[in-house]
Each structure stands twice: as structure tokens, then as C-alpha cells.
Structure 1
Amino acid sequence: MLDRLPPEICTYIFDFACRDSGCTGRSLSLVSRYVYQTSELVRYTSIVLIGRSQILSFAEFVGNTSIPLKTRYLFINGQESEEELDSMLRNAHRGERNARIEYARLAGLLPRGDERLKDAKEAITREYVNVDILLGSDGAAAVETILRRLGPTLEILDIALNEYVAKMLLNPVSLPRLVDLTTRCGFPLRRDNIPALEPTPSLRHLHIVDTILQWHCVEHFLQNGISYFAPALTDLRLTQLQEDEVVITHLEYALGLVPPNQHSSKVTQLPHTLERVLLKPAVAPTSWTTCSCCDDTQEYRNLVGHARLLRDKDHRVLLLNADCIAPPDDLYFQEWREKADGAACEWDASDLDFNSADEPGT
């Protein structure tokens, strides 16, 4: 039946059908020659990439294809589990371990000033520096290739990468039509430099998910970050906030609620277009009654208390109650799917924290 429809109508239908993880697009390409041809331009409307293998493979594809890709929705999750990262680290540090073994062997045979001993020590340093390159360079190059290729049409992006890949995304990226960005890694921040994402006036909704698995902290986004790459932002969401209240003090200054001080010297004002800031702390930490140095509960209470004070100062700030348990792994994917299906960016603000600032932050 599809073969009898005009290509314009088929393309319109396929555009809606392909707003999933990419499965529909792959299936359409196998139906018939006519369906393959008429669905070609919309098969890549929505792309989901999970894991290093898919990211590298898709980067190779977009780098070589002549198909005019018009991807509007992209979900990239290259964040390995802690167990996988530990395994990667052990493999990456193998060269350094061997270099240290060789240095120890030579140290037992050669006098201290021997040139060979000096070379062996320098080899340790080289191998140590090489670890970050081994862990992040290929992945970063692949992600940059994907973003550059899909950038002209991309509207909604959810990105999560391990810390080694995220901190090596160094080349500027242009996403001129981006409207909604969820970042669960350091992207688009760069160490000691302006963000990698060029100023994007179309960007309205920014969701920053805090994580202890990254090299950055959420407050870094307020230091010549958000105001640079999202000059017309309307909605800012900070979730899974950890035990440090510095992000709240930075946010106070960024909202223009307190005068600058030595601790906020690098913080820039948020765009005047901002209409709403949604804050959500992470799950409350467990109290370690037997080890005060491991007990983060007081810092967590400070974070929540300070967030409540900020909420009371500015009507734009909404504070959500923390979850009792960690959110499910597929939570952000489901949010992205709903947006790709056409749902408006309506962050759930039904579970608000109305407690006073002096109540325990638990």
C-alpha cells in the first residue's frame, strides 16, 4: 500500500515514525526499494547511540556517507559503569606499571646519576600522561565528528560521556538550531577556556545533571559557561546536586541576588531571559556515625538549607524534594523520547519542597 502513496505523503509519515531510537528507520530500509528511497531523508531524524562501539561506528558512518542527514533528536550515552571504567583504567595504566617495574629494576642495578635511570623515570611520566589519551581521544574525536555532521539540524540533545572523553572535547562545535540540551557530563565545558559550544541563541532549555563520576562540578557551568553558550536561555534545571553548597552560592550571584565577592569572581550573570530555575538535590547520603570524615550529611543539609533560602529570595527558583532512591537508569532516555515524540519541555514540578530553611535537609 505504501508503494502507491505519493512520496511527499510517505516522507511526512516516515518523519513521525522515525522519532524513536532508530529501529523504525532501519526497518523501513528493508521494506522495499520505494520505501527505502522515500524514507532515506527522514530515517536519521532520531538517533540513539549507547556505548563506545555504537558511537565509534556511527562516527565512521557520518564521516563517509553522502546522505544529507537531517537529524533533529540525538541521544548519546557513552558513560560506562564503574566496573567497566575500573577495567579500562587498569588496562590504560598497564604501560605505566611496566615503566615503574623497569625503573625499580634499574634502580637496584645502576648508580643514582646514571642516564639510563633518568630515562626510565621520564618513561613513567610519559606513560602517565598517555593514560588520558588512551581513555579519551578516540571517543572524543568520534563525538566531535557526530556533532559537527549533525549540528546544522540538531534540536534536542542528551549527552553523557565518561570523564576522559568529556574533558577531551576541545574543538568548538556549532549547533545553531539546538533548543534543548541535557548534559550529564562536562560537555560543553573546557578546562580553563571558553565552552566548546559556540553561542547558541536558539537554546532555551538546559538540564545539567550533577555526577561524582566527572572532572567538573556543576558550579563550573556558572563560570563563563551558561551565559556564553546559552545567551537566550529561559529554563535551567540542576538535578542530582551533591553535598557541596558552593553551587547555590554561585547561583545566587549569577541570578543577581548578592553582590560579587572573592569566591564568585569567575561567575557570570545568567541571561536576563531566564524565567525558571529548577533545583533537585541528590538522594540524601547515609550518616556514618562511626567515621566523621566520611559523613557528608552535614554538608548535604547545608546544601538543602541554602537552596531553600535561595528559593525564598527569587520566585523563579523552584526546589524539588530529593528522591528516596536513585533514579532509574533509563529515566533520561524516557525524557528524551517524550521530547522527540513532540512533547513540550514541561519539567515535572509537582513534588516541591516547601519546608523552611532551618528544617533538616533530609
Structure 2
Amino acid sequence: MASTTIHDFPIELLQAVFVFACADGGATGHALSLVSRAFHAAVQPFRYYTLHLAGPAQITAFAAQHAADGPAYPKVRHLFLGARPPSAHTQHGDLEACSSNPRGDRARVARTIRALLARLGPDLRTLVVLSPVPHAELFAACPEFTELRDLTVARCDDDESGDGDGDGDEGAEAAPALRARLFPRLARLHLATCGRELPLARGAGAPEHLLSCWTALAPDVRELRLSDVPDRTAAVGLRAVLAKTPGESEGTAFPHMTRLWLQPFALSEVEFFREKVTTRRWELISALIELGKGCRKETSVLLLHPEIVLGTSCRDLDAELYPAWRAGVVGHEGYWKGGVQVRDMLTFARRR
């Protein structure tokens, strides 16, 4: 009796398997494409089904390759744009030769990310992006992200992610205005470094609260996570825009929101026992508890434990966000789990 090998399987069956296999950021898709010509052809539509680009060098290389291949390039459904050098789970073979190139300045990296998102955006379902610029610049001139359901944005502009220093990019051209309802079907929004942009985000006219800006972009968000809430002042500002009842004010943030996760700022091991930091943390948690009590009754508020981290660089942030993104891609909760319900918040505060 003749033996049967995997090469004898119908291509439809192989491709059903490849969809699940290519959920690790790109490494498996690349490996499968090297097995044989038949495998290369079978895996090609799913090779970049999920894609983790480790930092500016890989992002630039992939953007150039994608622009050259045009519509023939495989679609990307789940994208992580990171800020650290490539490791074992971010090898893409044809991109590896470019991974040692020097990183460009923040303005150039931002332009590259913006151009890449403009091409990939309409097909994306989940997106994590560590950006050297605010979201108003990052998504400028992008078409609608019509399929996007889950978005995580982190502001990442320390010295490890670019050549520039300081807080801004002097001389950079002004970004085009953002379109309203840029994310029309977005259900989950995670602002991973909201401490860098709260309490205000600059709009076209007077300053607007950060959440008001995001509501215009993604009005149908059901679940919101705010990580790295910095202090009591920021928490009071959040309460002002989240405690309003839908219909009470045109500025109401996320009128359809059902769950809200709040996470205080992260602490390093050195900071953990400093008296001033401890006092600041207690004041913040108390303000977040008041926010939870005053939030709309339609919204369930959960308070997450403050993280104790070994560092706060872009590389550390990338390492923290990647596992949860990958878990979400394969059907787990990812960022959207845990926390203490509002009714238990007083007990939580005493325990901390």
C-alpha cells in the first residue's frame, strides 16, 4: 500500500491548517514557504496573516518590499509594529538582512509607519503600534480601517526607538487632519501609554480631551483600556468625560462603552518603596475609585493592579505588549481580562 505524505493532502486542507499555523508573527509562514514549491504556493496567501515587525529597520524594509510588490503582496490581518531588535519570534528571512540598518529619526519612522498603515489599514483586524509621534500624526491621511476590531496604541519616543531626542520633532511638516470615524467598527481600544498624552490632545482649534478626540475616530468602542494613568489630575479629567450620560453632552466619550479597564502608572523596583511615589499612587487609586463610582451605570469599571516593571523603555513596553497581542490573535482575551470590579475597589485600595 502506497504511503501518504502531507504533500498528498488537498490544498484546501493545507491552507486551512496554515491559517492557524501562521499566527505567530511571521516566523512559521516563512519556514513553511521554504519546505517546497508546493508549500510556498499554498502558504503564500497566509504567509503574513499575522506580522510582527520588531522595530524601525524591519518596518522600513517591509514597507519598501510591500510597496514594490503592490496588490500581489499577501494580505496582513493582524499587525504588531514594535520597537525592539528582532529575536527568535520575529525572523522573516527576507527582512532579516535589513534588521541591522541604523534607525532613522522619529519623523522619518513616523512617515514610514503612516505610509504602511495607509496601505494595510483596510484589511487589518487587530493592530498594535508603538509610535514615536502622537496618534493625530500617526493616522493622518490614512483611509478608513473598515475591518479593524482591536487597536492598541503606545507612545514610544525614548532614545532606544529613534535617533532624535527631546519631546518634539522641530521642523517636521504638519500632518494632514484626521478623518472622522476613521475606525468605524472598532470595538476594543487600548491606550497603553495614556500618561504621555493625558489630559489634553491638541485638536484643530481649542484643546480637546484625549478621549474626546478618540471618540470622534472610533465612536462605537465597547471596551476601553487605559494603561499608565499618571496621576490624580488625569483621573479627575477622565471622570469629567466618562461620567456623563449619553445624550447629555455632545462631548460624551464613547457613548456605547460597556467595560472600562483602568491601570495606574507602572513602577520600577527602585521606585516601589519611595514614599513620594507611594503617596502619588494612593492618591491616584483613590481618584480612580471615585471615577468608577461616578461612571455611567451602563459601564462596568475594572481597576487593574499597577505593574511593577524592570524598566520603562520602548523595548520593555514592546516585550510587555507582544504576548497579549499574540494571545488575542489566537482567540484568547489578551489585554481584555482581569481587574477588580467597582464594588470591590475599596478593598483593593486597602490591600495595596
Indicate which of 73, 79, 82 corresponds to 1:74: 79
Question: What's the % identity of the aligned pairs?
Answer: 22
Partner SS state of residue 219, structure 2:
coil
2:120 aligns with 150
Compute the RMSD of aligned alpha carbons: 3.7
Alignment of structure 1 residues 1-362 onto 2, 5 Å: 1-66=5-70, 67-78=72-83, 135-163=105-133, 167=137, 170-185=140-155, 195=178, 198-210=181-193, 214=196, 216-217=197-198, 220=201, 222-256=210-244, 268-283=251-266, 295=276, 297-314=278-295, 315=297, 316-325=300-309, 329=317, 330-344=319-333, 347-351=336-340, 354-356=344-346
In structure 2, what residue type is equivalent to 1:323?
E
The letter of the residue matching 2:83 is G
Structure 2 spans left out of the alignment, 5+ residues: 86-103, 158-173, 202-208
Inter-partner Cα distance in structure 1 for 2:214 and 2:135: 21
> What is the TM-score when the length of structure 2 is the normalising length?
0.71
Matching residue's letter, 2:282: R
Change (3 A) 1:32 1:360: same
Report if the CA contact (8 A) 1:180-1:205 is conserved. Answer: yes
User: What is the CA-CA distance between 1:47 and the residue it aligns to?
Assistant: 0.3
Given that residues 125 and 149 in structure 2 are in contact (C-alpha distance below 8 angstroms), is that contact kept between their aligned partners in structure 1? yes
On the 8 A contact 1:308/1:356 being kept in 2, the answer is yes
The offset of 1:20, in angstroms, is 0.8
SS at match of 2:82: strand
Q: Partner of 2:99 in structure 1? A: none
Cα deviations by residue, 1:57-104 (Å, 9 ceiling, x for unpaired): 011011111424221110111379xxxxxxxxxxxxxxxxxxxxxxxx
TM-score (norm 1): 0.69
Cα–Cα, structure 1 residues 287 and 29, in superposed 2: closer, same or farther, change >3 Å? closer
Give the distance between the partners of 2:52 and 2:23, measured in 1 at CA: 10
In 1: Cα distance, 2:347 partner to 2:245 partner:
17
For residues 332 and 305 of structure 2, what CA distance do their matches in structure 1 show?
24
The structure with more radius of gyration = 1
Assess, with a 3 A threshold, how the Cα gap between structure 1 residues 244 and 186 changes in structure 2: closer, same or farther. farther
Structure 1 unaligned runs (5+)? 81-133, 290-294
What is the alpha-carbon distance in structure 1 between the residues aligned to residue 349 and residue 111 of structure 2?
48
Greater shift in the superposed pair: 267-276 or 40-49:
267-276
Q: Check whether the contact 1:155–1:179 (CA below 8 A) recurs between aligned residues.
A: yes
Corresponding residue SS for 1:178: coil
CA distance in 2, matches of 1:233, 1:148: 21
Separation in 2, partners of 1:181, 1:37:
31
1:19-63 residue CA offsets vs partner (Å, 9 max, x unmatched): 112011111111111111111111010100111110110110111
* Residues 17, 359 of structure 1: alpha-carbon distance in 2 compared, 3 angstrom cutoff: closer
Q: Judging changes above 3 Å, is the alpha-carbon distance between structure 1 residues 257 and 300 closer, same or farther for their aligned structure 2 residues?
A: farther
Q: How many residue pairs end up in the alignment? A: 295
